[in-house]
Amino acid sequence: MAFSHTNKIRYTYITPGVEADKIVSKVETGSAEINLEHEVTIASTVTDDIIIPGFEFADASQAVSIYARLDGVNGAIYCNDGSGGKIADLDDGEPFTWSYNGGSSWPPGTSNTLVDSTTALCVKPDAHHAVNNPLSVATNKATITIRVLYAGGAP
């Protein structure tokens, strides 16, 4: 069974009297996907790493599309225990997207940031998220969302 994911970005530029609007999208197809949405509790020390088990990815080159987002906290998502590669630096609610795009990576300047032999994800909250994200302070909760479309066999 084939799956498809669409990465779509809307660019809007506004100046007095002029609004330029453009939507650009890329569609990728693959044979399987990983979809993870996980709520985490932010520790009172704010910057404690949060390990999320159950995200296993053996061969990073199999990925054709990535979507990653943190809601409720600014931070970064890393592979494994935090010593693995960084998937993305993320501000509260602003996603990272990447598409293989026939080998030319889209949007421009992005790349496949997954790492071989990944067995977990690590969320590293930014040191000053309490100032930047009052929602996370009020609830002590954040949500990580990551979706990966990949080709081939096991991820």
Is a pLDDT exceeding 80 seen at residue 94? Answer: yes
Indicate left, alpha or beta for 152 from its phi (over 0: left) and psi (-120 to 50: alpha): left
- Domains of the chain plus CATH, in order, are 32-150 (2.60.120)
In the structure encoding, which two tokens stand for residue 120, read together? 């977990």
SS3 of residue 136 by DSSP: helix
pTM (predicted TM-score): 0.86
Query: 15 or 134: whose pLDDT is higher?
Result: 15
For residue 53, give the nearest of 118, 113, 124 by alpha carbon. Answer: 118
Indicate left, alpha or beta for 101 from its phi (over 0: left) and psi (-120 to 50: alpha): left
114 neighbors 79 (Cβ within 8 angstroms): yes
- Encoded amino acid at 8, one letter: K
Q: What is the mean pLDDT of residues 97-102?
A: 96
76 neighbors 90 (Cβ within 8 angstroms): yes
For residue 6, give the nearest of 57, 64, 70 by alpha carbon. Answer: 64
Residue 1: the pLDDT is 76
Q: Model confidence at 49, in pLDDT bands (50, 70, 90)?
A: confident
Q: Model confidence at 84, in pLDDT bands (50, 70, 90)?
A: confident
In the structure encoding, which two tokens stand for residue 148, read together? 């990966």
Cα end-to-end distance, the chain, whole Å: 15
